[in-house]
Structure 1
Amino acid sequence: MLAQAQTYPTKSITLVVPFAAGGPTDVVARALGASMSKTLGQGVVVENKTGAGGTLASGYVAKAAPDGYTFLIHHNGMATAPGLYRKLAFNPLTDFEYVGQVVDVPMTLLARKDLPPKTPQELIAYVKAQGNKLTLAHAGLGAVSQLCGMLFQKMVATDLTTIPYQGTAPALNALLGGQVDILCDQTTQTLQHIKAGSVKLYGVTTHERLKSLPDTPTLDESGLKGFEVKVWHGVYAPKGTPPAVVEKFGNALRAALKDPAIVQRMAELGADIVPEAKQTPEGLRSWLKPEIDKWGALIRSAGQYAD
């Protein structure tokens, strides 16, 4: 095992992304992979394996050879899959070795630019009055935009008419075109449209205001106490991957998160590099189980299942 770690890697490494090229997770993966390649001395190649809300990619990596040449980067979907799917080809808690968390991306609550309410408080009152006359878009089953929308409906105690799209881009395009009323989406997708004034922004989903949107209130301070949703990303290896190999790959990942080019790129995307304690296997392990419990309860209460 020690000899393997000393010579590792001897060929390119595949970093599997469960979503389409050009999407938020893909953008993060490609930036990290380019930086890690310099540290590892071998290419880190991103492979997009889409389908089934990210579970196809997760199952693929869970069954891959545990030799250090296949890794997975996934967001909150790793925690929501057990609640959404009655049958899974993998167990997030037992079928992977954990490498660490990487970045968190805040969410924003948006509406079409001509929606009448001017403040978050006015929006909440408007939603309660209009109910299912209003449409709420999301990027598909298991997407963080769906989870954010579910939490919003729960906290305002009102059901809206939800409209799923096949990805973030078409959901956002529907909002920009005025075809839907409300969308909760991450800053990597929305900042440019917010700054251009092509959508109406009501709040951010973090407990603290964002540096990139300092004048925008949090939903928590706007009356929805405890409202917090962010897109978090973790990196995983197949169960049984040698600890020394996981450590070497993890060290390269942590070095990438200190790379000035990565720091700048993540800031441009509105993404926050997680604290060093979260960048470790234990940091990811201790985070995942509570997230599974949290979102599983919400999904069950809403009766949202994929099968």
Structure 2
Amino acid sequence: MNTPTRRHALVALAASMAALALPAAAQAEFPKQKPITLVVPFAPGGGNDILARAIAPRMSQLLGQTIVIDNRPGAGGNLGTELVSRAAPDGYTLVIASSQVTMNPFLDMKVPFRIERDFEPVGLLGSVPIVLVANTQEPYKTLPEFIAYAKANPGKLSYSSPGNGTPQHLAGEVFAKLNKTEMLHVPYRGTGPSITDLIAGQVQVSFATYASVAQHVQAGKLRALGVAGQKRTALMPELPTFGDAGMKGYDASLWYSLLAPARTPAAVVSKLNEAMVAALKDPAVAKQIANQGFEVQSSTPAELKDYIGKELKRWERVIHDNGIKVSL
């Protein structure tokens, strides 16, 4: 019987054989044979897309090969990511993956791949802090005031997010569980409408990436209350963290990485990592990323593999311990 598990095993075996059959000369010549496709598993304009378009030109120069950005949105990022998991393991098809790939497996989503099995880590790219922002007409002006208000008014607060199962959604769910309160989650189809309705007062607060709300905070259209984590951000150093407010166990952030299909030769992965790290260190690229509200991060492939393993364990524990359910 040709079950999904059996089919996946056959695909993995075929990919493994293809990697073994890849001539050493082809590995040595990488990436001279053809352009590299960098898959962005979300629509243009999001964090994955911004980072891809920031690093691709410089990486292209360093590698001496064209890098084509291919946006493949759908299924919460799973569609484009699965496409890369099934691509030839030769380094010519890559994907920008966010920390959401370490959350989805535990949210009752149908994830057609395993991030730790079906991909070869290339390296971390960057991160963006998630911040709690409020409509300026709301009575709470500081993070402690908001926490006190949320505890005293269970069920009276609503918060927006770019969609069910997103890191921003989980940030709100974990906050409510830790503070033994209730908040109504209002999911939107993307960051834009989520923030637009917050400014209009349709919802009271939002857990949002700094990159998506910085201009509105600076313009006085939104009030930033705190960083959803334990570490202050250099992008807004005066903004307190949830740790500063006494929530020592709370941490939510959004990180991005570069992945290749499993069994991509180590020499190819190393070459990609070297180009990625060099691109991130380029002053013009670093400035472009910072101006978009991101913090540059980089790593070796081994460091990223270890980090992904830790994040999978962390989110499995957080989602299970807090009884987080996502309706998709």
Say yes or no: does 1:11 pair with 2:34.
yes
Q: CA deviation at 1:86?
A: 4.9
- Equivalent position of 2:17 in the other structure: none
CA distance in 1, matches of 2:76, 2:319: 15
**RMSD of the TM alignment (CA)?**
1.5
Say yes or no: does 1:302 pair with 2:323.
yes
| Contact 1:76-1:231 within 8 A present in 2 as well | yes
Q: CA deviation at 1:2?
A: 3.5
CA distance in 1, matches of 2:278, 2:24: 21
CA distance in 2, matches of 1:8, 1:282: 21
Q: CA deviation at 1:99?
A: 0.5
CA distance in 1, matches of 2:234, 2:111: 39
CA distance in 1, matches of 2:216, 2:120: 38
**Residue identity opposite 1:100 in structure 2:** G
- Equivalent position of 1:131 in the other structure: 154
Q: How does 1:135-284 map to 2 (within 5 A)?
A: 135-274=158-297, 276=298, 279-284=299-304
Runs of 5+ unmatched residues, structure 1:
none
CA distance in 2, matches of 1:142, 1:36: 32
**Residue identity opposite 2:305 in structure 1:** R
Point out the structure with max Rg over C-alpha. Answer: 2
**Residue identity opposite 2:152 in structure 1:** A
- Shift in alpha-carbon separation, 1:303–1:104, aligned structure 2, 3 A: closer
Hey, which bits of structure 1, 4+ residues long, moved more than 6 A?
none
CA distance in 1, matches of 2:202, 2:102: 31
Q: CA deviation at 1:26?
A: 0.5
- Equivalent position of 2:70 in the other structure: 47
Residue 287 of structure 1 is aligned with which of 301, 307, 313? 307
SS at match of 2:115: coil
Question: Structure 1 stretch 219-228 or stretch 233-242: which is displaced more?
Answer: 219-228
**Residue identity opposite 1:240 in structure 2:** R
Q: Map Cα deviations across residues 118-176 of structure 1 (whole Å, 9 max, x no partner).
A: 21111111111221121111111221211211221122211211111111111111111
CA distance in 1, matches of 2:248, 2:121: 32
- Equivalent position of 2:16 in the other structure: none
CA distance in 2, matches of 1:303, 1:204: 21
Q: Map Cα deviations across residues 60-89 of structure 1 (whole Å, 9 max, x no partner).
A: 111111121110111111101211235421
- Shift in alpha-carbon separation, 1:59–1:124, aligned structure 2, 3 A: same
Identical residues among aligned pairs (%):
38
Question: Structure 1 stretch 64-73 or stretch 220-229: which is displaced more?
Answer: 220-229
| Contact 1:107-1:185 within 8 A present in 2 as well | yes
Say yes or no: does 1:56 pair with 2:79.
yes
- Shift in alpha-carbon separation, 1:61–1:37, aligned structure 2, 3 A: same
Q: CA deviation at 1:113?
A: 1.1
- Equivalent position of 2:139 in the other structure: 116
Q: CA deviation at 1:45?
A: 1.3
| Contact 1:55-1:81 within 8 A present in 2 as well | no
| Contact 1:83-1:305 within 8 A present in 2 as well | no
Runs of 5+ unmatched residues, structure 2:
1-22
| Contact 1:24-1:189 within 8 A present in 2 as well | no
Q: CA deviation at 1:187?
A: 1.1
| Contact 1:18-1:57 within 8 A present in 2 as well | yes
| Contact 1:148-1:229 within 8 A present in 2 as well | yes
